[in-house]
């Protein structure tokens, strides 16, 4: 959103994004009205349009923001030498990062069909770049003979699916802590690629 000069501008825009994330994650993009978002922020509907062109742009902004942040964080994270260590580091990074942002994650993979075709393509490009981080690790492991895995691309999709699913059922008050789950997933994934 373009920087504006008024009083609350610097605060309203992020509050709109925060409210939209919460509401879209809870009820779904199509089921949430601009009035509901405005209500959460504490402004009237018309005011929203000072900060976003329309509802679709708001959705795109949330998804692109999430995926851009994810890629940046992934690049900042440690990536140890050796395919097995790198795989474990990726798994732990993914689980922790996603557990901290359940709403953004939920939106980024549930609301794809509510994007216009052009916006969908932009989001898919970012998502693919993230998947490629994992795929590179798997390829390296296969090349080095460290992994027993028939196809790096399918392996990538399988592991990402497994990891992403956590967000659909994990609850902090559940039987196991996130650290427990992280450990179990690390073991399963390491075994799954034959490391």
Site string for a second copy, 92-131 (x = CB under 8 A): ------------------x--xx-----------------
Tokens of 12: 């309203």
C-alpha distances in angstroms, 96 versus 67, 75, 99, 163? 15, 15, 5, 11
Q: Which is nearer to a second copy, 8 or 26 (CB)?
A: 26
Tokens of 118: 């052009």
| Contact status, residue 20 vs residue 51, Cβ threshold 8 Å | no
CB neighbours of 52 closer than 8 A, spacing ≥ 6?
Answer: 1, 16, 58, 61
DSSP-assigned letter for residue 173: T
**Which parts of 22-41 interact with a second copy (CB under 8 A)?**
26-31
Phi, psi angles (nearest 5°) of residue 79 = -130, 95
CB of 60 to DNA, least distance (A): 12
Span interacting with a second copy, options 46-54, 83-91, 134-142, 179-187, rule CB under 8 A: 179-187
**Which parts of 20-79 interact with DNA (CB under 7 A)?**
32-36, 42-47, 49-51, 54-56
Q: Which is nearer to DNA, 46 or 117 (CB)?
A: 46
* 181 sits near a second copy (criterion: CB under 8 A): yes
C-beta pairs of 42-47 under 8 Å, 24+ apart in sequence = 43/12, 47/12
Length of the chain: 195
Residues at the contact surface with DNA, assessed by CB under 7 A: 3-9, 12, 32-36, 42-47, 49-51, 54-56
Residues at the contact surface with a second copy, assessed by CB under 8 A: 26-31, 110, 113-114, 148-151, 153-155, 157-166, 168-169, 175-176, 181, 183-185, 187-189, 191-194
């Amino acid at each position: 959103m373009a920087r504006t000069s008024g009083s609350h501008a610097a605060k309203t825009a992020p509050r709109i994004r925060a409210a939209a994330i919460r509401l879209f994650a809870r009820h779904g993009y199509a089921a949430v009205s601009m009035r509901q978002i405005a209500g959460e922020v504490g402004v009237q509907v018309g005011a929203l349009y000072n900060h976003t062109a329309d509802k679709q742009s708001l959705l795109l902004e949330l998804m692109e923001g999430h995926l851009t942040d994810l890629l940046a964080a992934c690049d900042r994270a440690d990536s140890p030498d050796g395919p097995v260590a790198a795989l474990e580091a990726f798994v732990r990074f993914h689980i922790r990062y996603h557990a901290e942002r359940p709403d953004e994650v939920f939106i980024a993979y549930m609301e794809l069909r509510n994007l216009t075709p052009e916006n969908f393509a932009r989001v898919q490009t970012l998502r693919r770049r993230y998947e490629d981080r994992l795929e590179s690790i798997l390829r390296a492991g296969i090349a080095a003979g460290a992994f027993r895995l028939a196809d790096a691309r399918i392996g990538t999709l399988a592991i990402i699916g497994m990891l992403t699913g956590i967000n659909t059922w994990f609850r902090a008050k559940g039987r196991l802590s996130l650290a427990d789950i992280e450990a179990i997933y690390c073991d399963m994934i390491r075994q799954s690629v034959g490391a």
